[in-house]
Amino acid sequence: MRIRRDKRDRLIASGRPAYPVWVDRTHSLAQVREQWAHLETGEETQDRVGVTGRVVFIRNTGKLAFATLQEGIGTRLQVMLSLAEVGEDALAAWKSDVDLGDHVFVEGRVISSRRGELSVMASSWQMASKALRPMPVLHKDMSEESRVRQRYADLIVRQEARDMVRTKAQVLGAIRGVLAEQGYLEIETPILQLIHGGAAARPFHTHMNAFDQQMVLRIALELNLKKAVVGGVDRVYEMGRIFRNEGVDATHSPEFTMLEVYQAWGDQTTIGALMRELYLGVADAVGSRVLETPRGSVDLGGEWRWLPVYDAVSEAVGETVTIDTPRETLLAYAAKHGVEVDPGLEKDKVFLELLSELVEPGLLQPTFLCDYPAIAQPLARPHRSAPGLIEAWDLIIAGVERGTGFSELVDPIIQREVLTEQSLRAAGGDPEAMQLDEDFLRALEYGCPPMGGLGLGIDRMIMLFTDANIRETILFPHLKPEA
RNA sequence: GGGCCUUUAGCUCAAUGGUAGAGCUGCGGACUUUUAAUCCGUAGGUUGUGGGUUCGAGCCCCACAGGGCCCA
């Protein structure tokens, strides 16, 4: 670093800025590649361009120097500096002043080298931004920790990291495109809330000075979006960051991006159809409807099966299981099939354990698991024909939960009963149970149209399309401070 | 929360309990068609932190911290 620091100082002292505010760039590297793609090996033009980029390879040979510039998300182009064309001083300065990692500006003719590499043959060059810190080596992967701690360096040296940035933007754009086309309005709702609700999770706590009030960061988007539907925003969604104060590992991040969509006059079936369209829209934007996953090939374009959860568990244990199957019987099934469950769990939670252990991992193709017991989702509507069940589904693709949807509960009386029960659990020490949100109940009391709603974790969706872990889908994930 | 693995040069990694090394990067030099250029030379270290065992610790033991994988 000290030597590069000296180079910077030397440049500045000699009147050549190390960090000029402007250089006369005429073309991006991508434009040069596109416009002069037709050049034959060794063909030279008199077309003059000014290009910029970060020096990622450098090959200085006596009187002819080569460097590879890298621009933006991955375009590269070679530049050449010949003694005959830039002159002795400029070539000597290039050799002494330019290091790997520097941004440079090169002006010259577009040519194809004798080996057929499209290049800019320099007539002059200029430092555009001097790098003081050496780049990581390009030929070995950085350790996973370095990648995450210094994502900027990871982005410089690793194409997959750059691709992830583009893919994530394409996914967000495709989702907004599908929703906009169908008349959904995107809204923003408060991240700082008085009461956490809409999901089962531990919140982060904070304090608002202005009100001298304890606040929580939102764990879901649900309640505010439903209030918007009450007010007449019939098709509404929010895609934003939510916060859960829980474990951090390859599939869990304490903050992640969630999409929730609400559709007045819809139900679990119509919202399921929308879920499929969202997935297909994203698939078409980033690649293919057929995905290769570690568990096998997934065809998103096929029929998405609806599978009632009691049928699925019955098949898995080889016995008929219903909402009325006693707790002890379920515990016996669990023991028989090697599913470890806390013996103190209530009946329906034992059932959900069986479902997630015995059924979900085996579902490769897109499947809506449906007809859940009521305990699974406190905000879903009781089933229109099956007593004790609710109208809710979980979407499983490649063995992993990818999203959820309901016919939403809009009866304010039943909703109050359900939330009161939840708040009693919370008071009883269940840290994930919901609190009673009186403002939400008041909104429902004004009357809410029947509606379907869905929730979708964007990062998990991207993990499916890119086969990456969650720390790679999030550009700057959380790590403990360096020692 | 439990188990296993891991932390050494800017980066990626070596090193029977006995003088801490290599490749790339960096620095100096040679070379007018290179492609991770090549060749010659050279610099670079409180081995995560703190204790302990030992004549002697990067290596063995303990604690702590960071990272990873698996399990709950």
C-alpha A439/C-alpha A218 separation (Å) is 15
Percent of chain A with pLDDT over 70: 99
As a rounded value in angstroms, the CA-to-C1' distance for A247 and B62 is: 29
Split at pLDDT 50, 70, 90, the class of A133 is confident
Chain A 47-66 residues in 7 Å CB range of strand B: 57-64, 66
Starting at the edge strand found earlier in the chain, the sheet holding A205-208 runs A192-193, A213-217, A205-208
Please state, in angstroms and as integers, the Cα–Cα distance from residue A364 to each residue in A102, A272, A273, A372, following that order: 47, 18, 19, 20
B chain positions with any atom within 7 Å of a protein CB: 10-13, 23-38, 48-49, 65-70, 72
* Range with the poorest average pLDDT among A4-8, A26-30, A364-368: A4-8
C-alpha A45/C-alpha A40 separation (Å) is 11
As a rounded value in angstroms, the CA-to-C1' distance for A3 and B26 is: 9
Number of helices (H), then strands (E), in chain A: 16, 18
Helix (H) or strand (E) holding A285: helix A268-286
> Comparing C-alpha atoms, which of A16, A228, A216 is closest to residue A128?
A16
As a rounded value in angstroms, the CA-to-C1' distance for A9 and B56 is: 47
As a rounded value in angstroms, the CA-to-C1' distance for A142 and B11 is: 7
Is residue A109 within 8 Å of A47, Cβ to Cβ?
Answer: yes
As a rounded value in angstroms, the CA-to-C1' distance for A145 and B60 is: 28
Is residue A370 within 8 Å of A392, Cβ to Cβ?
Answer: yes
pLDDT, one tens digit per residue, over A26-80 is 999 999 999 999 999 999 999 999 999 999 999 998 899 999 999 988 899 999 9
ipTM above 0.90, yes or no: no
C-alpha A376/C-alpha A390 separation (Å) is 9
C-alpha A335: how far from chain center: 37
> Beta carbon of A250 within 7 Å of strand B?
yes
pLDDT score of A1: 62
C-alpha A164/C-alpha A437 separation (Å) is 38
